[in-house]
Amino acid sequence: MRFEGTEIQEAVAATARKFAKERAEPAAAEADRTGRFPEELIRELGALGLLAVNVPAAHGGSEAGAIAYARSVMELARADCSLAVTMAVTNMVGETIARFGTEAQKSRCLPLLASGEWLAGSFGLSEPQAGSDPNSMATRAERRGDRYILNGSKQWITSGDRAGVIIVWARTDVSAGNKGITAFLVEGGTPGLVVGKHEEKMGLRSSSTVGLTFEDCEVPESAILGQLGHGLRVALAALDGGRIGIASQATGTIRAALDASVRYAQERQAFGQPIAGFQAVSFALADMQTSHDAARLLTLRAAALKEAGRPFGREAAMAKLFASEAAQVAVSKAVQIHGGYGYVNSFPVERYFRDARVQTIYEGTSEIQRLVIARHVLGG
């Protein structure tokens, strides 16, 4: 199975790497300090084709494939994980609309997302009491003629205050259980869509996270994404691809932590020599390198299966589980190697430590990933 090396993959990765080094990395510390949403960088990502990497060219996307997408997220996360999150979610929304949308929906939404004219797309699935459990979803969509009226709330919505379009899941038939959930496209600024407060997060501080409330929010029947009552299928397909995105973010985080630690270990002197010469430090670096390569390979395997049109849910869950858990260890080792300097913001590993923590939680917790993998192992 070929994971990388095609001309288009190399071109996309090189573009992402150059942008990450020249534009994202120099601005990352200040963006983290202020929590300012990086509008100008998002628009630049759009101009470079990085907001719709795996979206068909006919609708404004780069049509570069899932491997190119994974590699571009790795490069961006290595520089600024907050920016990588915004980019990844917008890509996920675009891919979902490209797969399930009508021609009218695709023609309307995808060029605006791809170009950055719409600063972001959002994914409105989680609720205050319903994260990994769709059975607990409380948001309703009541049909009135050729319209649907949405009422309810969503929580932890990335870019929810900036999104040009939000994919919102709501119950259209309470009696039908999971078969009564439908996905809708709700454009930003729609009357009845109320944006809540910005969450003050531990990390990913320049990635906007808000709650959304729907108060008699009216959308046309044509806003249904996919089929009526088939919303859970849309969500699960999107989450499988989203897990590749999170695994890519985590892999980029490991790389960033390793690079910073190698630089510091070679420069920092103790007992008359660079601390890289001490076995405890060199072994930690060896472990981080091994974790990075394993995470990268697992992630690219899942992306390659997706690109080939083959089932990839198990592999995406494995990549997300391993990479996100490995990132927790890697950033902790990086802080330890830096000693007291790792605990202050003079060095970037303190930011990596905070940014990485959520990677085992969003897009399905590590526990959910283990459930998914176990079902495959047991033939369920």
Residues with catalytic function = 363
Q: What are the residues facing 105 on neighbouring strands?
A: none
Three-state DSSP state, 84 = helix
Buried/exposed 222-239: b ≥16 CB within 10 Å, e otherwise:
ebbbbebbbbbbbbebbb
Give the span between the Cα atoms of 11 and 97, in whole angstroms. 25
Question: Residue 24 corresponds to which tokens in the numbers above?
Answer: 């994202």
Residue labelled with tokens 């049909």: 143
Buried/exposed 283-299: b ≥16 CB within 10 Å, e otherwise:
ebbeebeebbebbbebb
Question: Residue 203 corresponds to which tokens in the numbers above?
Answer: 């990390």
Give the CA dihedral 198, 354, 33, 348, nearest 10 degrees.
-160
Angle 231-267/66-79 helices, nearest 10 degrees? 50
Question: Residue 209 corresponds to which tokens in the numbers above?
Answer: 């996270």
Give the span between the Cα atoms of 200 and 212, in whole angstroms. 16
φ and ψ at residue 338, rounded to 5 degrees: -75, -10
Question: Residue 36 corresponds to which tokens in the numbers above?
Answer: 């300012």
Three-state DSSP state, 179 = helix
- H helix or E strand, kind and range, residue 212: strand 209-220
Q: What are the residues facing 167 on neighbouring strands?
A: 123, 185
Residue labelled with tokens 């023609």: 107
